[in-house]
Structure 1
Amino acid sequence: MSTPKKRIILNAFDMTCVGHQAAGTWRHPSSQASRYNDLDYWTNLAIELERGAFDTLFIADVVGVYDVYRGSAEAALRDGAQVPVNDPFAAISAMAAVTRNVGFGITAAVTFEHPYLLARRLSTLDHLTKGRVAWNVVSSYLDSAARNIGMDRQIGHDARYDLAEEYMQVTYKLWEGSWEDGAVLRDREKGIFTDARKVHPIRHEGEYFKVPGFHLCEPSPQRTPVIFQAGASSRGRQFAARHAEAMFVLATGPETARKLTDAIRAEVVAAGREPDSLKIFALLTVITGPSDAAAQRKYEEYLDYASPEGALALYGGWTGLDFSSLDPDAPLTAVENDSLRTTLESLAADSEAWTVRDVIRKRSIGGLGPVLVGGPQTIADALEEWVDEGGVDGFNLAYAITPASTTDFIDFVVPELRRRGRAQADYAPGTLREKLLGDPGGRARDSHPAAEWRDHYKGRESVADSSRPSAFEGANARLIEAAE
């Protein structure tokens, strides 16, 4: 009996900006990237993704600008390279209203927003989407972001993960512990909406955060949203092994991906979790058409619109290196700094040394990830190799041209993947966590650290315990009785 083929998880990778991974291509006549301010762009994209039975729309975000290249943000502004950029949360409820199944992975950095507030925003969306929300946990890597919220510079790379560990603990306490199951009664006859005896202050006091109270939202369908994570540095892998249910990695090919996926899954097991409790996504850009030749012509056309300077502006922000100061033909090597450390690590791990010229030639379209060009069979073969040989579970598919890249993939590649038993034709029932991991109930697994806080406060101090007797209790009681 043959072993069933692993289903390939498909995520569309986008950002609420003009140029995400392919700077300059917004100028192409068929591109709608400059409509990023138009809600119809986002709702139409969500409908299209559900037509292709994509798992999620994975929305990246930064709260700074790419100003390392030539010491200025000019190149990024000129090419629309991730600036201007909007808040990724705003369009989610509208997209959820026109779809039923596609999930939404939302990036939010732990460094710049208090966990008490972010926990409410994510719970709100989990309610409004009926449990289709994931949180991509990141620690911001741009110095410009830190400076604009009053810091001198970005927090150190490893220190950001120390902060993130406490941040997660706070959110888990709020989501999983502060409201017991059954706290919300909605009892019209007794006039009781919430039983205050089942709502608990978390009394968190840590190195970075102090949160004495309880969560502002009642429990959402998933309570804790699905946890995505996007960092494959050594420290990032440790964090992912403990917290992530899906992880976004950078690799130049299946061989380098295999080294990453093996290492990550070994750390997941060492952290006391099941190896299948974390799904791993690789970043790719796919340019396809009815045939290899048609796809190649399309790729060459797109390259005419790609901006080399825009690409180097992005890489400057991702690596912390001013590429204008580097020898264009000298091999790039990984460096220790506080930027997105995995960017140069992923290139340095390749069998062939990369140069600045290679970045321009190979990544002006793909950005952080490789570009696959070919017809349906060629692309399906390559994706299967990434999954079977590289050990990934699926992909974050960036666009060269939006929404054409997504539509082409759905029209040409998805049918071929379905024919091979690799892509879903419909969705499993339930929340996003149930769809991705196959776990019933929609809650984080018992092996996940969020589960440590379930029932943690049960039987302990509740909001009702803090209610003080009134000095005018008798008079108030008579007033209330008279009113009734």
Structure 2
Amino acid sequence: MLREIHLNAFDMFCPGHIQQGMWTHPRDQSYRVNDLQYWTDCARKLEQGLFDGIFFADVVGVYDVYGGSADAAVRGAVQLPANDPTIVIPAMAAVTKNLGFGVTCNLIYEQPFLFARRMSTLDHMTGGRIGWNIVTGYLDSAARAIGLQGQVAHDDRYDLADEYMSLVYKLWEGSWDDDAVVGDKQNAVFTDPAKVRVIHHEGRQYKVDAMHLCSPSPQRTPVLYQAGSSPRGREFAATHAECVFVNGQKKEDVRGITSDIKARAEAKGRSTDDVKVFLGATLIIGKTGAEAQEKFEEYRRYVSSEAALVHAAASLGIDFAKYDLDEPIETGKSQAIVSNVEIMNKAAGPKWTRRRLLEQMVLGSRQQPWVGSAEEIAETLIGWSEEAGIAGFNLSRTVTPESIDDVITHLIPLLQEKGVYKTSYAEGTYREKLFGHARLPATHSAAQYRGGTAAE
């Protein structure tokens, strides 16, 4: 029996997200990101297609590695201007009933006490449909924006993140009992004080002595996404993540990452079924393979090579402007996304050049698009699901909204016919739809803080 495939739209609150230059396409509507109706229309469309959710990427810095300046990023709309995705989610939730919302928030730059309140509020306002993509950042510009000299070292960021997670778990899971709110108008008691407790936390990075400000939300802890494929990132994912986001490589490499994370999770007492891996993918779909190829060639005319290099320079931590087209690039030690450098070394060889990098970025990013008829794309998704252990796909936009329209109109009905895609939503919260339970299971590390246990 084939496994069910999950689909998320992968987007960002900005005109230029992954496929650099696509905002210049005459049919692209991403220039409307400041228009609230753009997002509510998007939400309705995704729910019509039974998408599991929309996964919002986010950064809190600018891409200024290329040429030592942000000018090219500003000029080419490389994830700039970028608005706060948490603001638009309640409006999207108001026009949908089932769509989930995964939002990226960088814990390095978020005070945990206030962040915990924001996530609980979003979980309330969405009826239990919020997820959090846990990131520790990779842009020095973001560190400088909040007054730091530069980023914390890669592995040290994960050490800090482990403490951060324990603190927000205490607030979400341990501060309020489920039945704390009684709403007793006759005796003028809204909440029973005996069922709300102060969290005392004093660690290496954080000190909090306070009760959580929000009553228990439908999920308490949001659905936990994480996107780390480095050895330290995998260990973090095995401890905390429910959904792990990986970037495209060879199937055997992705299968290795998936198996390793699940094995690490199992060693921590978790069920391997409690970890789902999502692969980033870009789909170009036609009624026939020839039509899809024609659409791909049309899209290529709008690619910005400069913008693609700007984005790659920041995420790889390498200033490509310093190298001639065929000059070997030295990767060295980077505090950016370590796994991205490893992926490029595998794809282009250890002595890769700007030319070879640009050859990889055929549609303005390092993510190679899958081009084909709906039948061909369906078989590709099924193959990845079965052969690499992938639970679902985060689909990045190309030309919006037609890239999503193509998935809904052509691909999803075919996946349904093949028995690998739902025909209706399951009841309940985001976590219930994905995993069958509303709250984190007892085997998750957050469970130790429930009812005030280990909350000190």
Deviation, structure 1 residue 392: 1.1
1:349 is aligned to 346
Match of 1:337 among 334, 338, 349: 334
Q: Pick from 269, 294, 318: which aligns with 1:297?
A: 294
Match of 1:325 in 2: 322
Matches within 5 A, 1:266-277: 266-277=263-274
Matched AA of 2:389 = G
Q: How many residues align?
A: 455
> Secondary structure of 1:108's match?
strand
CA distance in 2, matches of 1:60, 1:319: 17
Distance 1:256 1:107, change over 3 A: same
- Give the distance between the partners of 2:201 and 2:238, measured in 1 at CA: 24
2:450 equivalent in structure 1: 454
Q: CA deviation at 1:369?
A: 2.4
Output one character per residue of 1:99-126: Cα deviation in whole Å (capped at 9) or x when no partner: 0001000000010010001101100010
Note if contact 1:283-1:368 (Cα within 8 Å) is conserved in structure 2.
Answer: no
In structure 1, what is the equivalent of residue 379 of structure 2?
381
Q: Does 1:54 align with 2:54?
A: no
CA distance in structure 1 between the aligned counterparts of 2:274 and 2:393, rounded to whole angstroms:
17
Q: Any residues of structure 2 matched to 1:30-41 within 5 Å, and which?
A: 30-41=27-38
1:47-446 to structure 2, matched below 5 A, reads 47-329=44-326, 335-350=332-347, 355-365=353-363, 367-439=365-437, 442-446=438-442
Is contact 2:248-2:281 (8 Å) kept? no
CA–CA distance in 2 between the matches of 1:355 and 1:298?
Answer: 28
- Change in Cα spacing, 1:392 to 1:332, as seen in structure 2 (3 Å) is farther
> Do the aligned residues in 1 keep the contact of 2:304 with 2:364 (CA within 8 Å)?
no
Whether the 8 Å contact between 1:103 and 1:432 is mirrored in structure 2 is yes
Q: Take 2:324 and 2:264, find their aligned partners in 1: how far apart are those partners?
A: 37
Q: How far is the alpha carbon of 1:166 from its aligned partner?
A: 0.7
Contact map agreement 2:362 2:368 (CA 8 A) in 1: no
Greater Cα offset, 349-358 or 209-218: 349-358
Partner of 2:9: 12
Unaligned stretches of 5+ in structure 2?
A: none
Contact 1:288/1:379 (<8 A) preserved: yes
How far apart are 1:330 and its partner, in Å? 5.6
Write out per-residue CA displacement over residues 352-380 of structure 1, whole angstroms, 9 at most, x where no aligned residue.
66543233233252624221001101101
Asked whether the 8 Å contact 2:348–2:357 carries over to 1, the reply is no
Report how far residue 331 of structure 1 moved.
Answer: 6.3
CA root-mean-square deviation: 1.7
Contact 2:20 2:304 in 1 (8 A): yes
Q: Specify whether residues 44 and 420 from structure 1 end up closer, same or farther in structure 2 by C-alpha distance, changes over 3 A only.
A: same
Cα separation, partners in 2 of 1:457 and 1:195, compared to 1, 3 Å: farther
Q: Aligned in 2, Cα 1:272/1:356: closer, same or farther, shift over 3 Å?
A: farther
Contact 2:317 2:336 in 1 (8 A): yes
Query: SS at the partner of 1:212?
Result: strand
Which letter does structure 2 place at the counterpart of 1:372?
Answer: W
Q: CA–CA distance in 1 between the matches of 2:362 and 2:185?
A: 60
Q: CA, structure 1 residues 411+149, in 2 after alignment: closer, same or farther (shift >3 Å)?
A: same
Greater mean deviation of Cα atoms: 248-257 or 218-227: 248-257
Structure 1 residues 226 and 333, CA gap change in structure 2 (3 angstroms): farther
Contact preservation (8 Å) 1:311, 1:364: no
Residue deviations 1:82-105 (CA, integer Å, cap 9, x gap): 011000101000000000001000
- 1:309-368 Cα offsets, whole Å, 9 max, x none, are 000000011011011223534666764321011111122234866543233233252624
Shift of 1:211: 0.8
Query: Are the equivalent residues in 1 in contact too, given 2:21–2:364 (CA < 8 A)?
Result: no
Larger CA deviation: 342-351 vs 180-189: 342-351
| In 2: Cα distance, 1:412 partner to 1:330 partner | 43
Deviation at 1:251, TM superposition (A): 2.6
Pair 395,64 (structure 1): closer, same or farther in 2 beyond 3 Å: same
Three-state SS of the structure 1 residue aligned to 2:451 is coil
Q: Secondary structure at the match of 2:293?
A: helix
- SS class of match (2:388): coil
- Please report the TM-score for the alignment, with normalisation by the length of structure 1: 0.91
Deviations 1:46-92 (A, max 9, x none): 11111110101000000000000111111111110101100010100
Name the stretch that deviates more: 365-374 or 16-25.
365-374
Asked whether the equivalents of residues 123 and 218 of structure 2 are also in contact (C-alpha less than 8 Å), the reply is: yes
Q: Are the counterparts in 2 of residues 126 and 221 from structure 1 also a CA contact under 8 Å?
A: yes
- Change in Cα spacing, 1:366 to 1:263, as seen in structure 2 (3 Å) is farther
CA distance in 2, matches of 1:133, 1:358: 39
Structure 1: which 5+ residue stretches go unaligned?
A: 462-484
The structure with more radius of gyration: 1
Larger CA deviation: 418-427 vs 123-132 = 418-427
Alpha carbons 1:333, 1:344 under 8 Å: kept: no
Please give the alpha-carbon distance, in whole angstroms, between the structure 2 residues aligned to 1:177 and 1:291. Answer: 54
- What amino acid is the match of 2:447? A
The answer to whether the 8 Å contact 1:135/1:228 transfers is yes
* Shift in Å, 1:258: 1.3
Report the TM-score when normalising by structure 2.
0.97
Tell me the amino acid that sits aligned with residue 382 of structure 1.
Answer: T
